[in-house]
Amino acid sequence: MKRLLAGLLLLGLSFSVLAQAPQRPTTIHHTKKAKKEASVYICESSRAYAYHNSTSCRGLQRCTHGVSKVSVSEAQERGYRPCKICY
C-alpha cells in the first residue's frame, strides 16, 4: 500500500512538472491563403457578369479579357453573380 501511495505521489509530481512545462502556442498562424473565404475567378470584361469556381470553366474560357482571382465577397461587390455552369 505504501508503495502504491509513493507511486501515485510520483505520478502526481510528474504531472505537475508537465503542467508547469512551457506550453507550445496552440494558435495556428493564419496566412492570407488560409482565409475562410473561397477565391473565385472573374473575367475583367465589362460584359462579364459571373464569377467562376475554377479557371477551367467554359464560361470563363470565353473571356477574351484578363482573368482575376478575387474573393467571393469582392466579386459580389463588383456586381458579379455565381456562374450557372460551375455553380
Which positions lie near Zn ion, rule CB under 5 A? 52, 57, 59, 83, 85-86
Q: How far is the CB of 82 from Zn ion (least distance, A)?
A: 8
Nearest approach, Cβ of residue 36 and Zn ion (Å): 22
Residue nearest to Zn ion (CB): 83
Return d(Cα 8, Cα 13) in angstroms, integer.
Answer: 8
- Of residues 31 and 46, the one with the C-beta less far from Zn ion: 46
- Pick the closer one to Zn ion by CB: 59 or 75: 59
Q: How many CA atoms lie within 13 A of 80 on its CB side?
A: 27
At 19, is the secondary structure helix, strand, or coil? Answer: helix
Q: Which is nearer to Zn ion, 12 or 62 (CB)?
A: 62
SS3 14: helix
What is the smallest separation between the CB atom of 23 and Zn ion, expressed in angstroms? 46
C-alpha distance from residue 57 to each of 3, 4, 44 (Å): 72, 69, 15
